[in-house]
């Protein structure tokens, strides 16, 4: 792992977020990726970016729940952290920063993908097979797809809105698509691609990953195998992508494949209280994929754990809006932090640290099996099978000691997702893709943007002005 971390530092230093790295720097890449071990190390590195503070380390995990009413930042404790998210105070000058991190990671993936696609024979030996290369290819395709998916859903309109938008309009645009060829991408200044093209490429990457990966493949020499690619992780992400596209038959198919794989099992109410603090998730049936963080490797100062612990920073507490939709017996409502200094407030307790260790080093859940049940419930509901939808929602509710349903509506499914996936970043995207107005009652008096209409510009992040300085072909997000 030490070798992988060193390579990560080198890679991060050589890949510019604004795609302006001089061509000669790629001589270093050619050397670093000239052997199979180099390719393997470079592939292991691509997972590390997810845990960055501007990505799943904080901004896209906990802060979306601050934005959308599951949490409140700044009362009763404030160190200033999260306040711009509480008030949706984003500008072209900054405030939301995963754009550069995602593109840096896409370039890392492309370096490996290009080598395997174009120079595969040079890596083959008695010890290295075509399948070995295909497994690395699948990993990088998965991570690249995840990176583009996050870009398009944060910076672009919902898929169905963008698809219906006028040809060439700003509303139809998502994220720039970067060439796989490093010699091209290093000089290219790509314009924003269409959102529908982004989604088509994401689906293409994930389907290819499923085709080429060995179904039994498990990345060697990692701390936690649930934080690396698997067939289940690829299928689960594909199910989510189809959900956002409102391709309900396909979403249902892939969610069902994950559920029926036998690799995952929804946590019981008792297990739900404890699996968050497991040192690794290898044997945790609830987790499909996540971002690994450890005290040895971790570098997160403002982590979800620190911000949700009143004995640490404690800026982010549970909102009364979220508490109002919870049954008292529901294990999710009982699993909260308290503090005697602030008896009227409670804090999330999903980011507990590992086996009692520092809470700053909690791993980040990105895909869980409970999400697959709720995703399939929505697909079944949209396809007109209320009985199957109800069964899927009840699978989650019954394992949380919560009220079960005789039948469900789309509002029930939305609320159950809000309960189960709270503090993990899903709620922003649920509001956005369903085009719902955000109404919050538990807010800071006098704050900006307490309520955000579904057609507000704020649902699509602005691209930082610094990106336009190096790429004049970009078009700013509508309204910014």
Helix axes 231-245, 195-212, angle to 10 degrees: 160
Lowest mean pLDDT among 94-103, 157-166, 417-426: 94-103
Instruction: Provide the 8-state DSSP code for 336.
Output: E
Residue 304 has pLDDT above 70, yes or no: yes
Residue 438 per-residue DSSP state: B
Is the pLDDT reported for residue 391 higher than 50? Answer: yes
Q: pLDDT of 353-367, one tens digit each?
A: 887 777 778 899 999
Of the two residues 98 and 130, the one the predictor is more confident about is 130
How far, in Å, CA of 68 to CA of 86, rounded?
Answer: 8
Predicted local confidence at residue 23, as pLDDT: 37
Backbone angle region of 289, left / alpha / beta, with phi > 0 → left and psi within -120 to 50 → alpha: beta
CA dihedral 382, 387, 392, 395 (to 10 degrees): 160
Q: Which pLDDT tens digit goes with each residue over 281-303?
A: 988 999 999 999 876 554 444 68
pLDDT grade for 221, boundaries at 50, 70 and 90: confident
Q: How does 120-130 read in b/e, with b if 16+ C-beta sit within 10 Å? A: eeebeeeebee
pLDDT in tens, 79-102: 999 999 999 999 988 778 899 999
Q: How many CA atoms lie within 13 A of 133 on its CB side?
A: 21
Task: Note whether 53 and 293 are within 8 A (CB).
Answer: no
CA–CA gap between residue 297 and residue 45 (Å, rounded): 12
Burial class (CB in 10 A: 0-12, 13-18, 19+), 348: buried
* Mean pLDDT score, 452-471: 94
Q: What is the pTM of this model?
A: 0.93
pLDDT at 7: 34
Secondary structure (3-state) at 122? helix
Q: Is the peptide bond before 76 cis (omega within 30 degrees of 0)?
A: yes
Pick the range with the lowest mean pLDDT from 260-274, 347-361, 431-445. Answer: 347-361
Which residues, including other chains, have CB under 8 Å from residue 122's CB and lie 6 or more apart?
none
């Amino acid at each position: 792992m030490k070798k992988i971390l060193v390579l990560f530092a080198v890679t991060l230093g050589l890949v510019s977020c604004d795609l302006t790295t001089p061509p000669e720097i790629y001589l270093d890449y050619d050397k670093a990726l000239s052997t199979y071990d180099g390719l393997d190390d470079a592939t292991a590195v691509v997972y590390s970016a997810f845990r960055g503070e501007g990505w799943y380390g904080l901004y896209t995990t906990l802060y979306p729940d601050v934005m959308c009413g599951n949490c409140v930042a700044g009362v009763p404790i404030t160190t200033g952290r999260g306040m711009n998210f509480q008030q949706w105070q984003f500008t072209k000058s900054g405030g939301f920063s995963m754009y550069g991190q995602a593109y840096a990671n896409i370039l890392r993936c492309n370096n490996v993908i290009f080598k395997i696609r174009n120079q595969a024979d040079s890596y083959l030996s008695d010890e290295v097979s075509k399948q070995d290369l295909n497994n690395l290819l699948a990993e990088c395709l998965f991570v690249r797809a995840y990176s583009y998916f996050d870009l398009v859903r944060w910076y672009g309109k919902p898929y169905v809105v963008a698809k219906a938008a006028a040809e060439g309009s700003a509303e139809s645009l998502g994220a720039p698509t970067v060439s796989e060829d490093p010699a091209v991408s290093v000089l290219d200044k790509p314009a924003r691609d269409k959102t529908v093209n982004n989604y088509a490429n994401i689906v293409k990457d994930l389907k290819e990953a499923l085709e080429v990966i060995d179904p039994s493949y498990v990345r060697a020499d990692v701390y936690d195998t649930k934080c690396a690619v698997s067939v289940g992780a690829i299928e689960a992400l594909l199910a989510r992508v189809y959900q956002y596209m409102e391709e309900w038959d396909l979403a249902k198919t892939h969610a069902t494949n994950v559920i029926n794989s036998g690799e995952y099992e929804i946590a019981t109410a008792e297990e739900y209280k404890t699996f968050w603090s497991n040192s690794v998730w290898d044997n945790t049936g609830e987790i499909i994929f996540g971002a690994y963080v450890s005290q040895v490797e971790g570098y997160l100062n403002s982590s979800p754990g620190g911000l949700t612990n009143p004995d640490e920073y404690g800026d982010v507490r549970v909102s009364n809006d979220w508490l109002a939709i919870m049954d008292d017996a529901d294990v999710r409502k009982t699993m909260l932090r308290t503090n005697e200094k602030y008896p009227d407030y409670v804090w999330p307790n999903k980011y507990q640290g590992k086996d009692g260790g520092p809470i700053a080093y909690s791993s980040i859940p990105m895909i869980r099996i409970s999400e697959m049940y709720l995703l399939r419930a929505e697909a079944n509901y949209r396809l007109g099978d209320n009985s199957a939808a109800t069964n899927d929602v009840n699978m989650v509710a019954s394992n949380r000691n919560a009220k079960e349903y005789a039948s469900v509506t789309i509002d029930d499914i939305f609320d159950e997702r809000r309960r189960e996936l709270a503090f993990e970043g899903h709620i922003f995207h649920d509001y956005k893709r369903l085009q719902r107005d955000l109404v919050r009652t538990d807010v800071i008096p006098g704050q900006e943007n307490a309520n955000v209409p579904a057609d507000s510009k704020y649902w699509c992040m602005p691209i930082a002005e610094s990106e336009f300085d190096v790429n004049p072909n970009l078009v700013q997000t509508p309204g910014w």
